[in-house]
């Protein structure tokens, strides 16, 4: 049975002056639809949202809305009234029917970790975003529009929001750069592509495969059109006998088709274009160790951030840091770079280390400086990018800026543009240690893909704090999870590996009835729980451990060499056709070798920490 049609747009056109943004735009929104809206910067996502709300009139076409349909919109900016409480802001304009406000406080506001008695002007940026999200959710509109709802949210809250939206009775249209979030909530994709709206009938998890098929089909069609045009050109080259009108008309059509084909080809090439990034060599370091935390303790009043914390970060490590706001992630980074000191223990940074630090507050950006001055403070038109001179306009283009913006002051940029400018500045010469604190906030999906490409080519040591699960899976090989109260869980792999590790630990903690004497037969069973291993609980460094530690670097080197050789063999695109068995064998072996390498590296790190503690 088809769900109720809530909104319909037919043959719509929207223009800005002489520029046509949309033409022949048609789509439906039905009750229960979970739609993600994606497209490049400037493709018209915000305009489409305003079209849905009715705030943007059509230049042509029709917009129909079912009578009584309520549309809610979570926007990026929050503008509360002076002195307004969280409660008043969220429930403003809503009538309280039979205590429904109390119910909504329990199911929406408390999971978003908001206090209804707090004043809005006293909230942090992240709390303001959560209050705006709560306001949009408690209204329970028939069509809920969400613009980057996961920005500044903890992972636990993002997972709660996913479950809430999946069960939401109304329709949802969501703009987000968080690929994991979109994959989990959507059952349909609206893709704004070169002035057209293409509808994928399945969720975002299927989008990459579906869009790839569309682009391949478009490429084939262009190829076929090219063949037809070549035949027309051949006909025209034989001459237009007697200059008959129909033949003249045929030549005119041929010329028009040639111009359109060129335009369509360029459009597809721009769509498929990808900036190629060369590997970013890090400065040479004599020490394998980048930074060491030895029995570090850090408190803020009664709040424990770190407790007897031991960690060694090695050259080339790619570490993702996750955890709730206030769990200690920022304090950890500040101690790492020397902006804060531990209350106990010591933090030792390698002497020759040169680090770059992306601060989510963008404090290194001067709002009065131009983009040109920000990147080239010496007044030159060229910026040193990893030892190569690049023209500032060309470099800005790499980060999806229009070169015409080069003289604009930083204060005129949006939040996402400021993030891109900060990344452009830092990634020009990131040094041997690159620290990124929430780099994905306010970034669109194209910039996020570009950042992943850049980081995949970075050969130094990488530390990333992020709530974006897919981004972590694409960029890091180890995870430090700040669980609160001084507990830090270290896991080899990406975010999905961390989740799997967490599930296994939870499963182990299921209460098991312990044996007991008959005299205690009527007492409650004693739960047997495996004690969590603290990073500070380090055993004695024995001779077998010493021998194993000496052997591990050779083993790691051999595995790295083997993996490189297999990768080289698999890069041969004709291997599968020539020898499918060899291809399957190598594919299986590279997975096993990678796991063995991770295990060996983790063991080396563990033994080095034990040795370090005993030596000191």
Q: How far is residue 240 from each of residues 246, 258, 523, measured CA to CA in Å?
A: 10, 18, 104
Average pLDDT over residues 230-259: 57
Position 598 pLDDT exceeds 60: yes
Q: Tokens 């669980």 belong to which residue?
A: 483
**Nearest in space to 600 (alpha carbons), one of 563, 562, 559, 547:** 559
Q: Percent of the chain having pLDDT more than 70?
A: 80
Record the tokens describing residue 30, joined without a space: 């039905």
Rg, C-alpha atoms of the chain = 29
Average pLDDT over residues 141-145: 94
pTM of this structure: 0.69
Please, what CATH class does the domain formed by 538-615 belong to? mainly alpha
CA triplet 141, 147, 148: central angle to 5 degrees? 130
Q: What local confidence, expressed as pLDDT, does residue 400 receive?
A: 80
Q: How confident is the model at residue 343 (pLDDT cuts 50, 70, 90)?
A: very high
Position 533 pLDDT exceeds 50: no
Q: What local confidence, expressed as pLDDT, does residue 510 receive?
A: 53
Average pLDDT over residues 398-412: 87
**CB under 8 Å to 247, separation ≥6 — which residues?**
240, 241
Specify the DSSP class assigned to residue 142: S
Q: How confident is the model at residue 527 (pLDDT cuts 50, 70, 90)?
A: very low
Q: Percent of the chain having pLDDT more than 90?
A: 25
Q: What local confidence, expressed as pLDDT, does residue 365 receive?
A: 85
The 10s digit of each residue's pLDDT in 491-515 is 888 888 888 888 887 776 655 444 4
Residue 453 has a CB neighbour count (10 Å cut-off) of 14
The DSSP H or E segment spanning 163 is helix 155-166
The per-residue b/e assignment along 402-424, b for 16 or more CB within 10 angstroms, e otherwise, is: eeebbeeebeebebbbbbbbbbb
Average pLDDT over residues 593-611: 78
Position 448 pLDDT exceeds 80: yes
Position 532 pLDDT exceeds 80: no
Q: How far is CA 582 from the centre of its chain?
A: 36
The 3-class secondary structure across 224-282, one letter per residue, is: HHHHHHHHHHHHHHCCCHHHCHHHHHHHHHHHHHHHHHHHHHHHHHHHHCCCCCCCECC
Q: How many helices (H) and strands (E) does the chain have?
A: 18, 20
Of 293 and 612, more confident: 293
CA distance 145 to 37: 10
Of 578 and 33, more confident: 33
Q: How confident is the model at residue 204 (pLDDT cuts 50, 70, 90)?
A: very high
* Stretch among 44-53, 205-214, 269-278, 290-299 having the lowest mean pLDDT: 269-278
Q: What local confidence, expressed as pLDDT, does residue 123 receive?
A: 85
Q: How confident is the model at residue 616 (pLDDT cuts 50, 70, 90)?
A: low
- End-to-end distance of the chain based on CA atoms, in angstroms? 72
**Nearest in space to 145 (alpha carbons), one of 3, 65, 35:** 35
Q: How confident is the model at residue 249 (pLDDT cuts 50, 70, 90)?
A: low
Record the tokens describing residue 253, joined without a space: 């059509």
Position 438 pLDDT exceeds 80: yes
Q: How far is residue 96 from each of residues 57, 92, 102, 415, measured CA to CA in Å?
A: 33, 10, 9, 36
Residue 270 has a CB neighbour count (10 Å cut-off) of 10
Are the CB atoms for 124 and 150 separated by under 8 Å? no
Q: How confident is the model at residue 162 (pLDDT cuts 50, 70, 90)?
A: very high
- Note the CATH architecture for domain 5-209: 3-Layer(aba) Sandwich (3.40)
The 10s digit of each residue's pLDDT in 546-557 is 778 888 888 888
Q: Which residues pair with 256 in a beta bridge?
A: none
Of 74 and 594, more confident: 74
Of 175 and 93, more confident: 175
Position 145 pLDDT exceeds 60: yes
Most confident of 72-76, 133-137, 273-277, 566-570: 133-137
Q: How confident is the model at residue 534 (pLDDT cuts 50, 70, 90)?
A: very low
Are the CB atoms for 295 and 127 separated by under 8 Å? no
Are the CB atoms for 399 and 424 separated by under 8 Å? yes
Most confident of 252-266, 335-349, 350-364, 599-613: 335-349
Of 143 and 272, more confident: 143
Mean pLDDT value across the chain: 80
- Using CB atoms within 10 Å of the CB of residue 567, give its burial: 0 to 12 exposed, 13 to 18 middle, 19+ buried: exposed
């Amino acid at each position: 049975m088809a769900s109720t049609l809530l909104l319909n747009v037919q043959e719509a056109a929207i223009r800005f002056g002489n520029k046509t943004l949309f033409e022949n735009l048609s789509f439906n929104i039905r009750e229960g639809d979970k739609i993600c809206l994606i497209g490049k910067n400037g493709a018209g996502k915000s305009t489409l949202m305003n079209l849905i709300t009715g705030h943007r009139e059509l230049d042509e076409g029709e917009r129909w809305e079912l009578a009584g349909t309520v549309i809610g919109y979570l926007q990026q900016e929050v503008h509360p009234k002076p002195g307004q409480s969280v409660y008043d802001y969220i429930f403003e304009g809503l009538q309280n029917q039979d205590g429904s406000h109390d119910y909504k406080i329990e199911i929406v506001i408390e999971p978003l970790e908001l206090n209804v008695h707090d004043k809005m002007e006293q909230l942090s940026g992240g709390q303001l975003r959560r209050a705006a999200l709560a306001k949009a959710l408690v209204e329970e509109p028939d069509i809920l529009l969400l613009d980057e709802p996961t920005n500044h949210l903890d992972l636990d809250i993002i997972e709660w929001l996913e479950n809430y939206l999946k069960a939401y009775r109304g329709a949802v249209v969501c703009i987000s750069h968080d690929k994991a979030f979109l994959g989990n909530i959507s059952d349909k994709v609206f893709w704004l592509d070169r002035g057209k709206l293409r509808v994928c009938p399945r969720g975002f998890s299927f989008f990459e495969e579906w869009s790839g098929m569309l682009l391949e089909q478009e490429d084939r069609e262009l190829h076929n059109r090219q063949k037809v045009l070549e035949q027309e050109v051949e006909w025209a080259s034989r001459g237009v006998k007697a200059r008959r009108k129909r033949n003249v008309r045929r030549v005119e059509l041929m010329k028009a088709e040639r111009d359109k084909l060129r335009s369509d080809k360029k459009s597809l090439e721009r769509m498929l274009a990808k900036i190629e990034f060369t590997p970013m060599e890090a400065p040479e370091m004599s020490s394998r160790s980048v930074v060491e935390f030895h029995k570090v303790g850090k408190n803020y009043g009664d709040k424990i951030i770190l407790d007897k914390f031991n960690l060694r970060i090695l050259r080339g490590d790619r570490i993702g840091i996750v955890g709730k706001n206030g769990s200690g992630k920022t304090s950890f980074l500040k101690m790492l770079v020397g902006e804060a000191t531990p209350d106990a223990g010591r933090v030792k940074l390698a002497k020759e280390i040169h680090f770059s630090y992306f601060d989510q507050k963008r404090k290194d950006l001067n709002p009065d400086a131009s983009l040109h001055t920000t990147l080239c403070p010496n007044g030159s038109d060229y910026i040193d990018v990893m030892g190569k001179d690049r023209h500032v306009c060309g470099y800005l283009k790499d980060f999806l800026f229009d070169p015409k913006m080069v003289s604009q002051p930083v204060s005129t940029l949006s939040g996402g543009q400021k993030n891109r400018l900060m990344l452009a500045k830092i990634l020009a010469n990131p040094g041997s240690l690159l620290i990124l604190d929430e780099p994905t906030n306010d970034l669109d999906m194209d910039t996020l893909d570009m950042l992943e490409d850049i980081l995949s080519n970075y050969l130094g040591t990488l530390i990333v704090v992020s709530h974006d699960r897919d981004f972590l899976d694409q960029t890091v090989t180890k995870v430090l999870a700040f669980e609160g109260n001084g507990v830090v869980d270290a896991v080899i792999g990406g975010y999905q590996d961390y989740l799997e590790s967490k599930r296994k630990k939870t499963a182990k903690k299921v209460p098991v009835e312990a044996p007991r004497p008959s005299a205690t037969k009527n007492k409650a069973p004693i739960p047997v729980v495996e004690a969590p291993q603290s990073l500070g609980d380090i055993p004695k460094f024995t001779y077998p451990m010493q021998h194993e530690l000496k052997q591990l670097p050779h083993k790691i080197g051999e595995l790295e060499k083997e993996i490189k050789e297999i990768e080289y063999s698999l890069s041969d695109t004709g291997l599968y056709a020539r020898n499918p068995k060899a291809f399957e064998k190598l594919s299986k072996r590279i997975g096993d070798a990678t796991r063995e390498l991770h295990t060996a590296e983790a063991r080396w790190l563990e033994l080095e920490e034990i040795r370090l503690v005993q030596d000191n």
